[in-house]
């Protein structure tokens, strides 16, 4: 969900988080949202209005704002009462969504899911790192295949491969930059600052994920290569011309200029 005040360049998950936080900037809405979360049951407009000390009409306005921001969901019910004849009251309950805002976008949940799946599915003939890389490649292939099934692009040459990849990777927080028709640089690592703790592992997972994505998308003439530079993702997509070796300890994508934590703001 986006609003006129949200920059269109933000990925959908971040844009939704920004809008949710902006809605909760109003003290009255925060109170109503907290009241409904603590109730552990659907709450009527009248109940929310009574707790906030405002009119039912004003409560309805603020509650519908919270629904539009994805923080609440609305329905019709008779909470705590036997069914009755006539119109049922409108009720509200939490939507069950986490609120996360991070600029630049971070996706530790994706990395965590890969690592958990790797542990659960580790094969007898592989170590933990090999299992993580295999799982990351599989997750990437699933994303690529789902993208292809949705967009039905037909045969993908190098330029069309980059175009479609750019749109998908923007949604996943990579902040793609396209300096040439068949060259896609990724200005943000969604797994930073975890990459700073173990660049060889995290950059390897990132590389395997993007390789799998290209495989699932069935691209031609494009490859994911390790090209670590400070302040950027360690992987680039470019016209196939041979790969690059793994990043050295002093040139990992985990290096960012300035304090790495100042750009992140998370609520939940």
DSSP, residue by residue, 93-109: EE-------BSS---HH
Looking at the chain, the domain(s) classified CATH 3.30.1380 span: 108-239
* Band of residue 100 on the pLDDT scale cut at 50, 70, 90: low
Q: Which residues does residue 75 pair with via DSSP β-bridges, in sequence order? A: 91
- Which is more confident, 14 or 177? 177
Closest by alpha carbon to 94, among 27, 24, 171?
24
**Which residue would you say has higher pLDDT here, 214 or 230?**
214
**Does position 101 have pLDDT exceeding 70, yes or no?**
no
Phi and psi dihedrals of 229, rounded to 5? -145, 145
* Ranges 75-79, 107-111, 215-219, 248-252: which has the least confidence: 248-252
Cα first-last separation, the chain: 18
Structure tokens given for 261: 């934590």
Alpha helices in 83-187 (DSSP H): 108-120, 128-151, 158-171
- What pLDDT, on a 0 to 100 scale, did the predictor assign at position 99? 62
Under a CB-based contact definition with an 8 Å cutoff, are residues 92 and 73 in contact? yes
Highest average pLDDT, of 168-177, 187-196, 217-226, comes from 217-226
Q: Which residue has the higher pLDDT, 24 or 33?
A: 33
Helix (H) / strand (E) containing 63: helix 56-68
**CATH of 12-94 given 1.25.40.10, 3.20.20.80, 3.40.50.1010, 1.10.10.10:** 1.10.10.10
Q: State the Cα–Cα distance between residues 92 and 41, nearest whole angstrom.
A: 8
Q: Residue 80: pLDDT band by 50, 70, 90 thresholds?
A: low
Higher per-residue confidence, 256 vs 20 = 20
| Percent of the chain clearing pLDDT 90 (strictly above) | 50
Q: At residue 14, does pLDDT exceed 80?
A: no
For residue 263, the model assigns a pLDDT of 39
**Average pLDDT value for residue range 110-117:** 91
Note the pLDDT of residue 167.
92
Amino acid 6: pLDDT: 35
- Distances from the Cα of 128 to the Cα of 20, 61, 118, 131, 245, angstroms: 38, 52, 7, 5, 21
Of 3.30.1380, 3.30.70, 1.10.10, 2.40.50, the CATH number of 108-239 is 3.30.1380
Where in the chain do CATH 1.10.10.10 domains reside?
12-94
- Nearest-angstrom CA–CA distance, 14 and 154: 31
């Amino acid at each position: 969900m986006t609003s006129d005040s949200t920059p269109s360049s933000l990925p959908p998950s971040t844009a939704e988080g920004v809008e949710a936080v902006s809605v909760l900037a109003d003290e009255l809405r925060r109170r109503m949202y907290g009241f409904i979360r603590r109730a552990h049951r659907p709450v009527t407009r009248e109940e929310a209005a009574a707790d906030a000390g405002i009119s039912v009409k004003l409560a309805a306005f603020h509650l519908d704002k919270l629904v539009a921001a994805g923080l609440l969901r609305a329905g019709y019910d008779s909470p705590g009462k036997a069914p009755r004849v006539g119109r049922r009251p409108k009720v509200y309950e939490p939507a069950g969504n986490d609120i996360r805002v991070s600029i630049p976008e971070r996706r530790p949940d994706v990395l965590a899911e890969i690592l958990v799946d790797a542990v659960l599915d580790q094969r007898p003939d592989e170590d933990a790192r090999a299992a993580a890389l295999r799982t990351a490649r599989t997750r990437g292939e699933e994303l690529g295949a789902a993208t292809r099934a949705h967009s039905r692009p037909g045969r993908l040459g190098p330029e069309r491969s980059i175009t479609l990849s750019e749109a998908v990777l923007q949604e996943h927080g990579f902040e793609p930059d396209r300096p040439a028709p068949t060259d896609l640089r990724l200005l943000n690592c969604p797994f930073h600052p975890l990459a700073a703790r173990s660049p060889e592992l995290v950059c390897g997972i990132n590389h395997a994920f993007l390789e799998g994505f290209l495989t699932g998308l069935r691209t031609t003439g494009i490859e994911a290569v390790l090209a670590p530079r400070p302040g950027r993702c360690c992987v680039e997509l470019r016209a196939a011309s041979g790969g690059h070796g793994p990043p050295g300890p002093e040139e990992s994508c985990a290096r960012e200029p300035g304090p790495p934590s100042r750009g992140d703001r998370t609520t939940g």
